[in-house]
């Protein structure tokens, strides 16, 4: 049972100017960092790709122009537990965005992203050996530091907004909770996270991000390993950014989406791997001009004790 509990928590305007304002490198609402009721420390690497398509209205009644944006994040991460009820996480991301238009020209922006430090407290740790159930409630906070590049270089300003760069130049704070219940081989997860993003020295003020997840899972045990299959739904809501130089609301940086998701995990005594995918079923991003097509995630971790 210990192995699969570990896996549960671990693998839990004009065309030439701008595109996909709401889908930047700094907006990555993937969840699944918590490891309920387990002391194991670990380190690993994980990666995801997020595909969006943007519609750009043209002048003189010409048909809209479409562009595609692929956002990619690969990060090294780990967890250390000094006590049973405290978990400390660290994340070092590398972000990249690729944009393609009707002329098939590709433009890039990439670099080290903003590092994050997260601390979780286990408020409720209930294990019923008779009923064969567990119930865990975690509450945590995250601080994001401005280590990533947040200003344009070369001709990036012709293609990207600041939301699409590797970093934001802000110190951000997040509060979140994870609630996990399991009985026998079935269980459920409810998570919520709220991020208060700040204003950088370029007078760009990033709006808040709120995200949540509700899912159910089934565990399949094997002799040397275990598998977990999870189905659920994720939600994301983004408040609009502001350019404080002109006190101007960036209306194409706000929106929301609701995305069905699926995850498959395999874990053994020393290793855990996972793959997951989600696709927006309902969305209203950038006043309907941006559509999320899909997101894929993959990761691997090594347990240290």
The domains found in the chain, sorted by start residue, are 2-303 (2.40.160.40)
Identify the pLDDT of residue 72. Answer: 96
Identify the pLDDT of residue 159. Answer: 83
Low-confidence ranges of the chain (pLDDT < 50): 1-19, 29-30, 35-37
114 burial via Cβ count (<10 Å: 0-12, 13-18, 19+):
buried
Identify the pLDDT of residue 34. Answer: 58
Q: Are 265 and 253 in contact (CB under 8 A)?
A: no
pTM for the model? 0.86
Identify the pLDDT of residue 194. Answer: 97
Phi then psi for 276, rounded to 5 degrees? Answer: -150, 160
Identify the pLDDT of residue 305. Answer: 75
Identify the pLDDT of residue 9. Answer: 45
Identify the pLDDT of residue 59. Answer: 63
Determine the Cα–Cα distance for residues 148 and 154; give it in Å rounded to an integer. Answer: 17
Identify the pLDDT of residue 36. Answer: 41
Identify the pLDDT of residue 7. Answer: 45
Identify the pLDDT of residue 31. Answer: 53
| Assigned token pair, 301 | 């971790």
**DSSP designation for 30:** -
Identify the pLDDT of residue 273. Answer: 93
């Amino acid at each position: 049972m210990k192995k699969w509990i570990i896996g549960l928590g671990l693998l839990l305007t004009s065309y030439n100017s701008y595109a996909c304002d709401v889908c930047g490198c700094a907006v990555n609402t993937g969840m699944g960092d918590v490891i309920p009721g387990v002391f194991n420390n670990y380190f690993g690497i994980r990666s995801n790709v997020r595909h969006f398509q943007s519609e750009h209205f043209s002048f003189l009644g010409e048909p809209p122009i479409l562009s595609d944006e692929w956002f990619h994040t690969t990060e090294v991460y780990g967890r250390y537990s000094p006590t049973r009820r405290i978990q400390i996480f660290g994340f070092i991301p590398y972000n990249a965005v690729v944009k393609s238009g009707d002329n098939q020209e590709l433009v890039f922006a990439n670099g080290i992203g903003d590092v994050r430090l997260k601390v979780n407290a286990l408020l409720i740790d209930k294990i019923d050996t008779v009923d064969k159930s567990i119930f865990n409630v975690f509450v945590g906070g995250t601080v994001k530091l401005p280590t990533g590049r947040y200003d344009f270089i070369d001709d990036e300003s012709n293609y990207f907004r600041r939301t699409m760069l590797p970093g934001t130049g802000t110190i951000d704070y997040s509060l979140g909770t994870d609630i996990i219940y399991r009985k026998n081989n079935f269980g459920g997860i409810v998570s919520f996270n709220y991020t208060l993003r700040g204003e950088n020295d370029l007078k760009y003020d990033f709006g808040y991000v709120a995200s949540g997840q509700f899912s159910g899972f089934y565990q399949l045990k094997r002799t040397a390993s275990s598998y977990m299959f999870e189905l659920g739904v994720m939600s994301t809501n983004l408040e609009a950014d502001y350019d404080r130089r002109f006190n101007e609301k960036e209306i194409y940086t706000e929106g929301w989406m609701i995305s069905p998701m699926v995850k498959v995990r395999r874990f053994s005594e020393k290793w855990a791997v996972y793959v997951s995918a989600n696709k927006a079923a309902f969305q209203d991003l950038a006043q309907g001009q941006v559509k999320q097509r899909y997101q894929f995630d993959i990761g691997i971790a090594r347990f240290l004790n």
